[in-house]
Amino acid sequence: MIDLGSNTFHLAITSLDEAGQIHVIDSQKENMRMAEAIEEGMIPEKQFERATEALLAMKSIGQSYKGEFRVVATQAIRAAHNRLAFIDHIQRTTGLKMEIIDGVEEARLSFLGVSQSLSFGTENLLSVDIGGASTEIAVGRGADCTYLSSLKMGALLLSKTYFFDKGHTPDQLEELRQYVEARLTPIQVDLFGASVQNASATSGTAKALARMIHQDRTKGNLDDPHGFRFTAAELYAVEQELGKLLHPDRIAVRWGLDSKRADIVLSGCVILATLTRLLQIPNWIVSTSGLREGVALDTYERKGLLPRAHWQDLRWQSVVGFAGKLRLDPAFAAQTSDLAVRIFDELIPFPAFTEMSNDARLDRDLLLAAAYLLEAGKFINFTSYHRHSYYLITESNLLGYTQEEKNLIALINRYARKSPAKSSKSDSLPYLDRNLSRVNLLSSCLRIARCLLRTRQMKIQTLKITKQGGTYTLRMTTTHGSRMDAEKLALKKEAKNLEKALDCGFDFQIETAGSKP
């Protein structure tokens, strides 16, 4: 997998053993400093080309292992106004498909990587991932998280804001400290009373601090920081000395750091030390596993290669939990998702519809979620609730989904009512243009299901789709004694929208169970 971080791009080539543990067998790192390069919210053109060069090199390494690629991007890229143009450029020039993951999903995946690499048994774990442009904090046990947070505050971004353009002065350091404490204090409130038995830090900042503390302890070098433990007192001592040295050149000489780490380690140390004080953490253990290993585990789960489908359960629990917050009727939501998926399963074997789907297994899962959340927008207002649903879903924290997948769920939901989706370059509907056929197929399945549940009752016993010429016919039998007046009228009104969305003729035949054809 390739992690397009705010500071560095990382390639990690992993293998999975019989026990379900992953092992990194090769890696590559390129210092890209995306968070520093971005100006006025835009990734500059030169970074497009630098990224292409770095990713082509990583792709060639990965291909030598005959590996499958997964490319994820984090805070600096997900916050950029031209992120979609960047994604398209990377896919066009390298052939690699890039995914953007949300902050809380990044926190979950980082926690997953840490928890699988360090054995904490049944004890709670607090994990902290201090990146270039964001800091992710998670609390949980095993693979299950009870708390997730992502702050747009990272070592490189803070250094750029407080030091790079303003000089390295005590006043600037004090401003940075006050800002960090203000951002982290709500975490102290959120976790008040939480039982945190272990605390682990991952990322470049954590590894650098481990090497610095080890050097001060032993006067020797630390080859592998994984599993290295240091106390709060040792961390505070390094923070104090960094504050006195201030300038990156002096910091680099003092601990023999690379210049690209020396100019951001102070900011990263302030984040970790402030969190240590607020949460009263007695000691930390460093993990060299984090986001990349978490993404690798998540990928193996997506492919069904791990013993239990935790990823699938997590995604579904996240959807159901979100529906509960919106006070959706669980019985109706379940009926809608079940019926929509049954319709999809009938359509997808036909070549015309197979071509409209990106990945039948994944699309089925996205449709299931979109259908369950069909009435989400009613939480805001009944009028134009499909538009409200789109907003609520895209702004929600649905764990286990990438940003694009979450947007697809919202688009499927949005276009299950009114007119079908049309090609648009509007930034208000990101990911639509690149998934237009896919959205129209899946939203059509949900559109039909919505019509057949117009009276909020499941009256359909069986359904089958047949094809004759250019027309597809959905043949259904209903439960005995069911009247379908409202459902038939709804289907009649939707016929033209369905034909437009699916680019074919579409017809319906409804029979009562036990009746003669």
Give 313's pLDDT tier (boundaries 50, 70, 90). Answer: confident
Choosing among 3.30.420.150, 3.40.630.20, 3.40.640.10, 3.40.250.10, the CATH entry for 104-293 is 3.30.420.150
pLDDT over 80 (residue 309): no
In which band, very low, low, confident or very high, does the pLDDT at 314 lie, cut at 50, 70 and 90? Answer: confident
Q: Label residue 488 by pLDDT band (50, 70, 90).
A: very high
Q: Is the dihedral of CA 104, 105, 108, 113 positive or negative?
A: negative
161 secondary structure, DSSP code: I
Nearest to 88 by CA among 420, 435, 396: 435
- Complete edge-to-edge strand list for the sheet that includes strand 2-4: 22-31, 8-16, 2-4, 71-73, 98-100
Considering the entire predicted model, what is its pTM?
0.84
* Residue 478 three-state SS: strand
**Residue 411: strand pairing partners:** none
Least reliable range by pLDDT among 96-100, 427-431, 465-469: 427-431
Q: How many CB atoms lie within 10 A of CB 229?
A: 12
Query: Is the CB of residue 7 less than 8 Å from the CB of residue 132?
Result: yes
With a pLDDT cut of 90, the percent of the chain lying above it is 80
CB atoms within 10 A of CB 389: 27
The per-residue pLDDT of the chain, averaged, comes to: 92
pLDDT at 308 > cutoff 70: no
Cα–Cα distance for residue pair 123/195, rounded to 1 Å? 9
Q: How far apart are CA 14 and CA 67, in angstroms?
A: 9
Whether pLDDT at 397 is above 90? no
The pLDDT of 122-134, averaged and rounded, is 94
Is the predicted pLDDT of residue 517 greater than 60, yes or no? no
Determine the CATH number of domain 309-455.
Answer: 1.10.3210.10
The average pLDDT across 105-111 equals: 95
> Which of 67-76, 262-271, 380-389, 393-402 tops mean pLDDT?
262-271
Q: 411 φ, ψ to 5°? A: -70, -40
Average pLDDT for residues 77-101, to the nearest whole number? 94
Distances (CA, A) of 153 to 7, 161, 187, 337: 13, 10, 13, 39
- From CA 138, how far away is CA 136, in angstroms rounded? 7
The kind and range of the H/E element at 336 are helix 330-347
Residue 288 tokens, joined: 């060299």
Would you say 202 and 290 are in contact if contact means Cβ atoms under 8 Å apart? yes
The count of other CB atoms within 10 Å of the CB of residue 219 is 7
Whether the per-residue pLDDT at 223 is higher than 70: the answer is yes
Contact between 375 and 392 (Cβ < 8 Å)? no
pLDDT tens digits, 197-212: 899 999 999 999 999 9
CB 56 within 8 A of CB 91: no
Q: What is the pLDDT of residue 426?
A: 55
Mean pLDDT in residue range 358-366: 92
State the pLDDT confidence band at 514, using cuts at 50, 70 and 90. Answer: low
Lowest-confidence segment of 34-48, 217-231, 327-341, 501-515 by average pLDDT: 501-515
Beta-sheet pairing, 71-73 with 98-100: parallel
Split at pLDDT 50, 70, 90, the class of 193 is confident
Give the contacts of 124 (CB within 8 A, at least 6 positions apart): 139, 140, 141, 194, 195, 196, 197, 198
Distance CA 336, CA 319 (A): 14
Cβ neighbours, 10 Å, residue 479: 12
* Cβ neighbours, 10 Å, residue 496: 12
Comma-separated ranges of CATH 3.30.420.150 domains in the chain: 104-293
In the chain, the amino acid numbered 142 is G
Place of tokens 């939990």: 321
Q: Give me the mean pLDDT over the 389-414 stretch.
A: 93
pLDDT at 502: 94
Task: Tell me if residue 472 falls in helix, strand or coil.
Answer: strand
Amino acid identity for residue 27 in this structure:
S
Half-sphere CA count of 505, side-chain side, radius 13 A: 9
**Using 50, 70 and 90 to split pLDDT, how confident is the model at 336?**
very high
Map residue 508 onto helix, strand or coil: strand
Residues of the chain within CATH 3.30.420.40 domain(s) are 2-100
The superfamily CATH assigns to domain 2-100 is: ATPase, nucleotide binding domain (3.30.420.40)
pLDDT bracket for residue 289 (50, 70, 90): very high
Read off the pLDDT band of 425 (50, 70, 90). low
Please state, in angstroms and rounded to a whole number, the distance separating the CA atoms of residues 48 and 38: 11
